[in-house]
């Protein structure tokens, strides 16, 4: 059950990245919420989970996207990685 909840966090965060990639400006609170959840999920890196590095990097990219307009690769790559992690967690 916990894996599905963590996967849902990945899917919601991937949605935030896709909204930014398609130039749909999400709410600031939504970006901060997703970034905070990814940062908390990224703390699993200390338990030896290597895929948590994706969560940490994605969290930082979301925070940077608040202030800067990022190139498309910085939005699409985390979106696909988080989408893949989220979908796999449901199987």
This prediction has a pTM of 0.89
How many C-beta atoms lie closer than 10 Å to residue 2's C-beta? Answer: 7
User: For residue range 4-22, what is the model confidence (pLDDT) as tens digits?
Assistant: 998 999 999 999 999 999 9
User: For residue range 18-67, what is the model confidence (pLDDT) as tens digits?
Assistant: 999 998 988 999 999 999 999 998 888 888 888 889 999 999 999 999 99
Query: Please, which residues have CB within 8 angstroms of residue 80's CB and are 6 or more apart in sequence?
Result: 14
């Amino acid at each position: 059950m916990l894996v599905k909840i963590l996967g849902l966090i990945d899917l919601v965060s991937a949605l935030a990245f896709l909204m930014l990639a398609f130039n749909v400006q999400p709410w600031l609170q939504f970006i901060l919420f997703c970034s905070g959840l990814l940062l908390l999920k990224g703390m699993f890196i200390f338990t030896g989970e290597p895929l948590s590095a994706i969560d940490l990097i994605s969290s930082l990219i979301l925070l940077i996207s608040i202030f800067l307009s990022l190139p498309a690769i910085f939005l699409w790559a985390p979106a696909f990685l988080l989408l893949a992690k989220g979908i796999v967690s449901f199987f």
